[in-house]
Structure 1
Amino acid sequence: MAMGEAAAGKLNVMMFPWLAFGHMIPYLELGKRLAARGHAVTFLSTPRNVARLPPVPEHLSPRMHFVALPMPVVDGLPEGAESTTDAPPEKMELLKEACDGLAAPFAAFLAGAVAGGRRPDWVVIDFFYTWLPPIADEHGVPCALFHIVPAAFIAFLGPRSGNAQHPRTTPEDFTVPPKWLPSFPSAVAFRRHEAQWLLGGFQPGASGVSDMDRIWATKERTRFTIYRSCEELEPRMFAVLADLFQKPIIPAGVLLQHALDVDGPDDDGGSGPGARPEVLEWLDKQTSNSVIYVALGTEAPLTAANLHELALGLELAGVRFLWAFRKPAGVSAPGTGVDELLPAGFVDRTLGRGLVWTGWVPQVRVLAHAAVGAFLTHCGWGSTIEGLVFGRPLVMLPFVVDQGLIARTMAARGVGVEVARDDSDGSFDRDGVAEAVRRVMVEEDGKVFASNAMNLKEVLGDQGRQDRYMDDLVGYLTRYK
């Protein structure tokens, strides 16, 4: 960092997210906001991930530096696999092993930065990097943890001490609020089929360390925790967390693109520079609030049966839809295109009122479009925030991690409904999909969901409020470096 910047009180911050785009993008958004306030940001990842990140605005690029640490080679990990989107679920432990191998390249890079007079004021890290704080300590650099999941999820997981006092060893233990959250709504917990997956996070993987041990260890070795959230979205939850973990908890706001970015030039996803993406052109032809946007993220563990029931449910619901279609993980064989993965004749039968789109979808701009009246989502935290910032009521189809808890929380807030599922295995059918879609898009209930979502939009979309969260975070980073 230049002496002039240091004299002006500007920060030099390193950021190192877990190797998943659902983590990297919020870290990038946080970095952009720091850079917009004049601070220097170094964003660390691996070569392929750095190359795939979206470009930052030109006026921020002088203050944002991207560093690609060499990805370690691990036997059995597919060639070129550098993120969770590159490897099937059964290879995740190998990806974690490779990620642990980034310790040596990181240590060398940090030592070089310090020796070159570019000592960072902070390293902002993800839950995974238990080995990083000791390396930073050697150079006198403090670390902060940045969680991209909701605060309520971490409160539900709980501190190490709470889990030792009240151990949870069966899936049923996760279907009720934990004993350290006596005021947590009883309806906001995991279903049994979700809890089985969650229980695995408490079990050691191939590395010998469980995901929960990683979360606890990083919390114990970092000075405070930042959340992609705000009081308006999770009222009173930050005080609860500060009490549970006995460390400062700093909300950074929702970290969504500014409204001006949404209405910016159409420079991607079309047929050339300046072309308007085809999905937006299709939406332009639809009437206001008439379309449900369907997107289940890039890593939902969908099966062929799931896709069939979802498609037939949309058909039964009889509403207009835009489906950002992704193949299920592991399906890459020839002859497994949309026509093969969806029910026979589905695309032809819904032609005119539905669009199944396999290409790139500018999700934020789609959700901002006046034709969109609701959002059928897997309830990833980022997608949920994007839907609510634009006042879209939700049809919720959660799968893993925090998604079930998010769905129940949003249902309790009256901004949408969950698709009915079998509690034992998580299966759902076309009738459940159609019923949930109709409740939000067609029936009288939908007006209540839409009104509640619009009320939340008013506070989440208040840029002045969001900027204050970032200003408070910068103030904390400046005072306690």
Structure 2
Amino acid sequence: MAETKQESPLHVVVFPWLAFGHIIPFLELAEQLARRRHFVTFVSAPRNLAKLRPVPGELSPRIRLVSLPLPAVDGLPDGAESTADVTPEKVELLKVAFDGLAGSVASFLAEACASAGRDEEGHGKRPDWIIIDFAHHWLPAIAERHGVPCALFLIFPAPYVAFVGPKAANDAHPRTAAEDFTVPPPWIPSPSPLAVRLYEGKRIARGFLRPNASGVSDMSRFWETEQRCPLLVCRSSRELDGPVCDLLCDIYGKPVVPSGLLAPYDAAAHAGVGDSNDEEEASAAGLIMRWLDAQPARSVIYVAFGSEAPLTPALVRELALGLELAGVRFLWALRETSGDGLLPDGFEGRVAAAGRGMVRVGWVPQVRMLAHGAVGAFMTHAGWSSLVESFLFGHPLVMLPLFGDQGITARLMAERRVGLEVPRDDGDGSVARDDVATTVRRLMVEEEGEAFARVAKELQQLLRDRERQEGYVDELVHNLLKRRNK
């Protein structure tokens, strides 16, 4: 990585939303900053910090973990600190608890600024920046009182950030009905594929535009946060996202700096090593690895839908029966709140007896699974973090997008011929087992699967150009240094 000349290292506070799909790329960014000899204070709830993989030893002096306990909220399970701890319908209560951190954050920042001098170095130096997430609409005002600028780090791919657009563009071209989202927004040059299906538009109108239990809609959170941040950072690269990266600056009217894809290179390099300190989790991982070791090379499709996927009983049933119909080997990682009692009667026993399938309900070390030689494809919700992990190992994709940015991302990946999207009913988004089976077989069994595998390998080479990816972080650091308060 390039050396960055500077008078003094930065002290950056990094504070992600309470979902591991956000926490992990924020941690990757924190480690990249620490590798460049800057100091990072990483903030989250206590249990989330305890679940993080260990920071590499040479970086640990530069990364300080600060835990802020969440306030109790009626209806939120005890100990729930991330989206992985709750069912999808209770995520809005997690946002209520998250907003309750405003007082703790204000106290933390006041102390950090009062006890620090600008001439100090390390974590004793007053923060130069706070890097925040989409949900932090209340934090920029707190930071402004202390003269600390905020940067909004968007972990979503650049095309989705363009599709959402800033508040001013949406005010000029209102989108309130589901149908409004099924065509590209007018601020995107034509022709453009940036649109969603009708069932996805319904979810945006219902779930993102309307206030939830916190009293604020997700879209309002994003818009309020974005408006008060002088710098936006997007988890993207020009090689993958093309001209959309540069278009974002015009759309948002401010600097939008790509961070690169922030792939988990260190985790991939140590993928054969156990990465859980929990005895039960380590035992489960060992069982999975032994099962994979017994399978032929590239014969297994790994199935996982992230830490906050809204899997309904009907969807789980059709997925299960579709995988069984496909007749291919599979490893299915189900989050606990999705797997409890939702699988069809006798399903696990049948696929296990046939030697074709394994289901693990609970934690699974995903990078280790994707790195295993028996895995030949990935069935995914097309969450950006999961796709970046998959790119590292060159796996073609079967995609079943579930919410947010995933539909647009899946369509762009399908257009790029790195994988296939499972067909869904346009009106209600329902999935049929026959379509699951057909899509899986096209990728895993039919001859056309080889073409998808070739494109996946091309993306692997792109992502493994680590020098180029590191260059994006150097560009980001240059912007943070240039714009920090003097």
TM-score normalised by structure 2 residue count: 0.91
Please say if residues 288 and 372 of structure 1, whose CA atoms lie closer than 8 Å, have aligned partners that are also in contact: yes
Gaps of 5+ in 2: 117-124
| Residue aligned with 2:413, SS | helix
Is 2:12 the partner of 1:13? yes
Deviations 1:33-66 (A, max 9, x none): 1112211110111222222222212221111111
Q: Give the Cα separation in 2 of the matches to 1:396 and 1:264.
A: 24
Please say if residues 136 and 221 of structure 2, whose CA atoms lie closer than 8 Å, have aligned partners that are also in contact: yes
Q: Give the Cα separation in 2 of the matches to 1:35 and 1:74.
A: 35
Residue 382 of structure 1: how far off its partner (Å): 0.6
Alignment of 1:424-463 (within 5 A): 424-463=427-466
1:325 is matched with: 334
The total of aligned residue pairs comes to 469
> Partner amino acid for 1:198?
I
Q: Give the Cα separation in 2 of the matches to 1:28 and 1:424.
A: 38
Residue 86 of structure 1: how far off its partner (Å): 2.5
Please say if residues 127 and 218 of structure 1, whose CA atoms lie closer than 8 Å, have aligned partners that are also in contact: yes
Is 2:232 the partner of 1:232? no
1:348 is matched with: 350
Please say if residues 13 and 131 of structure 2, whose CA atoms lie closer than 8 Å, have aligned partners that are also in contact: yes
Please say if residues 267 and 367 of structure 2, whose CA atoms lie closer than 8 Å, have aligned partners that are also in contact: no
Please say if residues 262 and 368 of structure 1, whose CA atoms lie closer than 8 Å, have aligned partners that are also in contact: no
Q: Give the Cα separation in 1 of the matches to 2:469 and 2:189.
A: 30
Deviations 1:173-229 (A, max 9, x none): 11111111133534x421111111111312233444322122112111111111122
| Residue aligned with 1:434, SS | helix
1:3 is matched with: none
Please say if residues 83 and 307 of structure 2, whose CA atoms lie closer than 8 Å, have aligned partners that are also in contact: no
Please say if residues 410 and 416 of structure 1, whose CA atoms lie closer than 8 Å, have aligned partners that are also in contact: yes
Match of 1:392 among 390, 395, 410: 395
Please say if residues 47 and 68 of structure 1, whose CA atoms lie closer than 8 Å, have aligned partners that are also in contact: yes
Deviations 1:133-192 (A, max 9, x none): 121112211110001111111211112122112111211111111111133534x42111
Residue 285 of structure 1: how far off its partner (Å): 2.5
Gaps of 5+ in 1: 1-5
> Partner amino acid for 1:465?
R
Please say if residues 300 and 328 of structure 1, whose CA atoms lie closer than 8 Å, have aligned partners that are also in contact: no
2:313 is matched with: 304
> Partner amino acid for 1:447?
E
2:196 is matched with: 190
1:181 is matched with: 188
| Residue aligned with 1:128, SS | coil
2:74 is matched with: 75
| Residue aligned with 1:444, SS | coil
2:31 is matched with: 32
2:119 is matched with: none
1:420 is matched with: 423
Residue 297 of structure 1: how far off its partner (Å): 1.4
| Residue aligned with 1:233, SS | helix
Q: Give the Cα separation in 1 of the matches to 2:322 and 2:410.
A: 19
Q: Give the Cα separation in 1 of the matches to 2:280 and 2:325.
A: 37
Is 2:173 the partner of 1:170? no
Deviations 1:290-313 (A, max 9, x none): 111111112211122222211221
| Residue aligned with 1:379, SS | coil
TM-score normalised by structure 1 residue count: 0.92
2:286 is matched with: 277
CA shift in 2, pair 1:22/1:273, >3 Å: closer
Deviates more, 1:304-313 or 1:234-243: 304-313
CA shift in 2, pair 1:227/1:184, >3 Å: farther
Q: Give the Cα separation in 2 of the matches to 1:471 and 1:431.
A: 48
Deviates more, 1:290-299 or 1:355-364: 355-364
1:219 is matched with: 226
Residue 21 of structure 1: how far off its partner (Å): 1.5
| Residue aligned with 1:426, SS | coil
Deviates more, 1:448-457 or 1:355-364: 355-364
2:143 is matched with: 136
Is 2:131 the partner of 1:124? yes
> Partner amino acid for 2:204?
L
CA shift in 2, pair 1:161/1:272, >3 Å: closer
